[in-house]
């Protein structure tokens, strides 16, 4: 679940900005 853009998710391997 890449909903929080503050903490970088290792699953996405990229900041969801």
At residue 3, the pLDDT reads 58
The number of beta carbons lying within 10 Å of the beta carbon of residue 12 is 10
In this structure, the dihedral spanned by the alpha carbons of residues 7, 4, 13 and 11, taken in order and rounded to 10 degrees, is: 110
Q: Is the pTM of this model over 0.85?
A: no
At residue 5, the pLDDT reads 63
Specify whether the CB–CB gap between 15 and 3 falls below 8 A: no
Specify whether the CB–CB gap between 7 and 14 falls below 8 A: no
- Which distant-in-sequence residues (6+ apart) come within 8 Å of 17 by Cβ? 5
Give tens-digit pLDDT for 1-17.
555 566 666 766 666 65
At residue 10, the pLDDT reads 72
């Amino acid at each position: 679940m890449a909903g929080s853009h503050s903490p970088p998710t290792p699953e996405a391997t990229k900041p969801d900005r």
